[in-house]
Structure 1
Amino acid sequence: MIKKILLLLTIITLIGCNASKPVIVTTKKAPSKTNSEVVRTSKRTNSKSATANKSTASKTIKRNTKNSQTEVIVSTSKTIVTNDVIKLYVYQFKEIAMANMKQYGIPASIILAQGILESGAGRGDLATRSNNHFGIKCHAGWTGESVNHDDDAAQECFRKYDSPAESFQDHALFLTSRSRYAKLFEYTKGDYKAWARGLRAAGYATDPKYPDKLISYIDRYNLHQYDSKVLDINYVLSEDHLVEELTLESRNIGNALASYVVQKGDTLYSISKKFELKVEDLKQKNNLTDNTLSIGQRLVVN
């Protein structure tokens, strides 16, 4: 009887042990499910972050694109340029303008503004064909080279120079040697608005908006700062402007490498082949109306 009771207790104990095992297994599997959920949550978070970063980058690119604006310059020719081209022009010729202001008394801001307007920031037809940056016609007594160009009348005679620097020099001599511009030198050297109006009144240009155009360039591109430098009116170069000038310098080097000086025997066709361009594209880049080239002429080929 006692043996039967012990056997019954042993069987009950074994059954109880087997019944507890599934609980243990279930407890171990629960953390595994939690870990899986954590991983998936982390991936979704990273995906959202990447999407946000792309969106921010896209907005930045759009803002940077808007910073580069295009404008049309109309004087002796119609030229389409970006504001970066105008800034590069100012950077390239500001030292010459300031030197001429010191020597001849013409505000550097006026020199640069006239250069931008008359030459299309160096990209206009007269500038590329003849280095004429101020739209100065031959006039009586001119013995140098010349080119014909449509302006107030068809095929008028314009002065041709060996370099832009020679054009800047002749501009200074042109204003200082003619009596009709004498009143300009009675104005304060830093009064660029009086100079802009005085040039129009003296007959430098026939366009009634000529003074407003010059003043607009001076104000928009802060050209009067170069008058202040020459006159030493507490001018301090800001860090932002210094960074901009260094950036423009590097661009200017690239711009110089992207141009070509016409040599003897060159034609538009031979130059286009050399730089893998179409003739029409080359003409458009340089605002050329025909296939005429001159030795020493600088062409944009970028």
Structure 2
Amino acid sequence: MNYKMALFLCCAVFFASCGSKKNSIITKKPAVKKTVVISHKETHIDTQEKLEATSFVVVTFENVEEYITWFKGIAKQSMINYKIPASITLAQGILESGAGKGELCKKANNHFGIKCHLGWEGDKVFHDDDESQECFRKYNNPADSYKDHSLFLTSRSRYNFLFDIKEGDYEAWANGLKQAGYATDPKYPLKLIHIIEKYKLYIFDDEVLGYSRSNKVVREVSKTASDSEYEVIKGDTLYSISKKLSISLENLMKKNNISDPMLSVGQILKIK
């Protein structure tokens, strides 16, 4: 074997060895495992809430929870200073502002859909509501809107009777606001009560008043006249009855020809 042949064989062996090592590294490379973790908070992201008052928006559970976190403190302080239930203040803020996502809220910091009304000397914007391009109050920041909401309710005689309601009775307040003419929507009280009960806003009333209603789980036992009827008991609302009996709110109202959400203890409702 001459010198050139020997050198050629050595090079061939060297490159073959390198190639085998490279292949062995690739085949022995460990697989990467991917772990997906879904937190409890994330399970609410796809849960949507339709809010329609001065704006119509579709928001997530997380959007509403974030709004509550931002404004629960000022709502509780309003309850201390002005005797307006924190649950009502928050529910109105969530509904009227679209949990802060509505057009009127974004362009005017107006969280409660309060219109200009006679005597308003502050800034204003125009926004479609019951009529085209109505005049609404504009605020420098949300805190001013919350304060004006309290002053609006406490300075007008048509709302005086609300302050005779037992503290913490958000259902009576919701119905009273409609009765006093705060909103023209006949379902306004039901919308407020739905928001309060879904997001447990009554807890903030309890914190101010210093008691707990056990998350409204303990109720009197209802008597039913038959399988097709339901007798209203203390604490019932149309919304809570619809959930208890697994019937849609719209069907319950239609079967009973109800337009006014006010219920009376002992009232018999058709459920079938």
Mapped to 2, the partners of 1:225 and 1:73 lie a distance apart of: 21
Deviations 1:229-263 (A, max 9, x none): 11111599xxxxxxxxxxxxxxxxxxxxxxxxxxx
Out of 163, 176, 181, which is 1:203 matched to?
181
Kindly state the Cα deviation for residue 73 of structure 1 after the two structures are TM-superposed. 1.0
Structure with the larger RCO, 1 or 2 (CA within 8 Å, 6+ apart) = 1
Aligned-pair CA distance for 1:61: 4.3
Indicate yes or no: 2:59 matched with 1:67: no
Match of 1:193 in 2: 171
Partner of 2:10: none
How far the C-alpha of 1:63 sits from its partner, in A, is: 8.4
* 1:150 match: 128
The answer on whether the counterparts of 1:229 and 1:235 sit within 8 Å (CA) in structure 2 is no
| Moved segments of 4+, more than 4 Å | 60-66
Whether 1:163 aligns to 2:136 is no
For 2:53 and 2:184, locate their aligned partners in 1 and report how far apart those are by CA, in whole Å: 10
Which residue of 92, 102, 111 corresponds with 1:133? 111
Q: Secondary structure at the match of 1:132?
A: coil
Tell me, yes or no, if the aligned pair for 1:119 and 1:133 is still in contact at 8 Å.
yes
SS of structure 1 residue aligned to 2:139: coil
Tell me by how many angstroms 1:66 deviates: 4.5
CA deviation map 1:151-186 (0-9, x unaligned): 000000000000000000000000000011111001
How far is the alpha carbon of 1:203 from its aligned partner? 0.4
Q: Report what 2:154 is aligned to.
A: 176
- Structure showing the higher helix proportion among its residues: 1
Query: CA RMSD of the aligned region, Å?
Result: 2.4
- Secondary structure, in 3 states, of the residue corresponding to 2:136? strand
- Counterpart CA distance in 2 for 1:122 and 1:147 is 17
Shift of 1:114: 0.2
Aligned to 2:211: 233
Q: Hey, what's the Cα distance between the residues in 2 that align with 1:185 and 1:62?
A: 42
SS in 2 for 1:73: strand
2:12 maps to none
| Offset at residue 72 of structure 1 (A) | 1.9
Identity among equivalent pairs (%): 54
For residues 213 and 99 of structure 1, what CA distance do their matches in structure 2 show?
23
- Tell me if the contact between 1:131 and 1:164 (Cα under 8 Å) persists in the aligned partners: yes
Q: Within 2, Cα distance between the matches of 1:138 and 1:90?
A: 26
Offset at residue 71 of structure 1 (A):
2.0
TM-score (norm 1): 0.57
Which structure 2 residues correspond to residues 10-29 of structure 1 after superposition, within 5 A?
Answer: none
Q: Distance in 2 between matches of 1:177 and 1:63?
A: 43
Instruction: Indicate the residue corresponding to 2:57 in structure 1.
Output: 79
Taking the aligned partners of 1:175 and 1:196, their CA distance within structure 2 comes to 13
Q: Which amino acid aligns with 1:179?
A: S
Of residues 95, 109, 114, the one that matches 2:73 is: 95
Aligned to 2:72, the other structure's residue is in SS state helix
| DSSP-derived class of the 1:106 partner | coil
From the CA coordinates, give the structure whose radius of gyration is larger: 1
Deviations 1:207-240 (A, max 9, x none): 111111101111111100110111111599xxxx
Unaligned runs of 5+ in 2: 1-30, 215-272
SS in 1 for 2:49: strand
Q: Work out the CA distance in 1 between the residues paired with 2:143 and 2:39.
A: 38
Tell me by how many angstroms 1:84 deviates.
Answer: 0.4
TM-score by length of 2: 0.63
